[in-house]
Amino acid sequence: MDKIIVEGGRRLSGEVGISGAKNAALPILISALLCDGETHLSNVPHLRDIVSTIQLIEKLGVKVQRAGDEVRIDASGLCCYEAPYDLVRKMRASVLVLGPLVARMQKARVSLPGGCAIGARPINLHLRGLERMGARVDLKHGYVEASAKRLRGAEVYFDLVTVTGTENLMMAAVLADGTTVLRNAAREPEVVALAETLNQMGADIRGAGGSEITIRGVNGLRPARVRIIPDRIETGSFMTAACLTGGDVTLTGCEPAHVTAVAHKLRLSGACIDFKDDRIRVQGAPEIASVDVKTLPYPGFPTDMQAQFMVLMSVARGLSMISETIFENRFIHVSELRRMGADITISGNTALVNGTDHLSGAPVMATDLRASASLVLAGLVAEGITEINRVYHLDRGYEAMEKKFEKLGAAIRRVPV
């Protein structure tokens, strides 16, 4: 288990390249299960979760070749329909195989993912949607067992906006008999990217990006060639780091349209942010203004940016309120930030952040992916040395984060433990 050591106080400057989006790559890798032949992906990031996903689909009989940022997946040999507990517990997004397996193999046996650090994260909406589409769904010995001769088109209403729920049912519906309408669907760019991939495979999906998605079932799909979209959360994380250090950083290979909510809040905090094609220039303000934030489904402010933005508010002038409306336990990073001198009071799903003039470096513990990113950001601006332990959390969703920050001038290094 490595740790990352940061000496705070360096102003970040220069250019940094943004990697492919983890949360687009995961469902798109899994969508390759839906067709025979070789699906070809590019701009796939090097992340632990990508490795886990490849391990999972290989277990199902799929051939995967990886070279650089390219991944080729040949699902002609798909022969197994079980996603075992030891893989699903490592990465809950494994539940995304449910839809494609029932669609392609007429059955699936997937371990229930269980909760995680940020919340219970049930998958009841995924399962109810599959039942609406005619699947038999049983829960046995910690596994979901779903089966259907052929799924049929249905109208599915999501009580809550669910990203992977939308993705799972979209993949289930593409080979169904008839038309499926998903209502109150997730509008995230990663959902749109999946829909575009499936349409390239020959599916008939309309309305992705809106809250109502219509999928007309087809009889078969063919392999696609897809470039993974840029990671909007990595983009927001580096934008926030530039603001934290009063730096001048240009992010390249981004999609500015995917970070408008984050850019809006960073501008309110005083930053100067310019969008040009696939580049974003961020110039931090000498003094950071406090800004209130409420996390919402896309296009609102993303929950995956809440911890990182809280670090910025910890050193802003004045009070800010940060409300977390998506997950019930996503303030785990607060206790570690407090150890670095942050003045944060939690009341229910709202954190009241009283900005201080500085944070102080300390040994801290990462607990989940985005919390670990927030601790790295805090270390960049804290006085003295910060040591972040259990960085395997970070490696799930950020490609060589410490190397990218070092290139921007940070005093940061990874130490094997």
Residue numbers at the binding site for ligand EPZ (CB under 6 A): 22-23, 26, 93, 119, 121-126, 160, 162-165, 190, 303-304, 326-327, 369-370, 397
Which CB, 41 or 288, lies closer to ligand EPZ? 41
In which residue are the tokens 């990595």 written?
Answer: 234
SS3 breakdown of the chain: % helix, strand, coil, rounded to 5? 35, 30, 35
Q: How far is the CB of 23 from ligand EPZ (least distance, A)?
A: 4
Q: How far is the CB of 69 from ligand EPZ (least distance, A)?
A: 19
What is the DSSP secondary structure assignment for residue 74, as one 8-state letter?
E
189: left (phi over 0), alpha (psi -120 to 50) or beta: alpha
Catalytic site residue from 116, 243, 254, 272: 116
SS3 state at 365: strand
Three-state secondary structure call for residue 222? coil
Residue closer to ligand EPZ, measured from CB, 126 or 265: 126
When the beta carbons of 304 and 395 are compared against ligand EPZ, the nearer one is: 304
Q: How many degrees, rounded to 5, is the angle at CA 325 between CA 374 and CA 195?
A: 85
Distance separating alpha carbons of residues 93 and 23, to the nearest angstrom:
9
Residue 240, judged by CB atoms within 10 A of its CB (0-12, 13-18, 19+), counts as: buried
Peptide bond into 256 cis (omega under 30): no
The yes-or-no answer on residue 243 being catalytic is: no
Q: Are 322 and 313 in contact (CB under 8 A)?
A: yes
Quickly count helices (H) and strands (E) in the chain.
14, 24
* CB closer to ligand EPZ, 66 vs 128: 128
CB of 98 to ligand EPZ, least distance (A): 11
**84 or 122: CB nearest ligand EPZ:** 122
**Beta carbon of residue 197, minimum distance to ligand EPZ (angstroms, whole number):** 15
Task: Give the residue with the Cβ less far from ligand EPZ, 208 or 369.
Answer: 369
Alpha-carbon torsion, ordered 225, 395, 233, 84, to 10 deg: 60
Our measurement of the distance from residue 44's CA atom to the centroid of its chain's CA atoms, rounded to an integer in Å, reads 14
User: Smallest distance from the beta carbon of 1 to ligand EPZ, in angstroms?
Assistant: 20
Q: What is the DSSP letter of 303?
A: G
With contact defined as beta carbons under 8 Å apart, do 100 and 34 qualify? yes
Tokens of 322: 């940060």
In the complex, the smallest distance separating the C-beta of residue 308 from ligand EPZ, rounded to whole angstroms, is 11
Count CB-CB contacts under 10 A for residue 140.
8
Smallest gap from residue 232 Cβ to ligand EPZ (A): 10
**CA dist., res. 282 & res. 251, Å (int):** 8
**Closer to ligand EPZ at the Cβ: 175 or 369?**
369
Active-site annotation, residues: 116
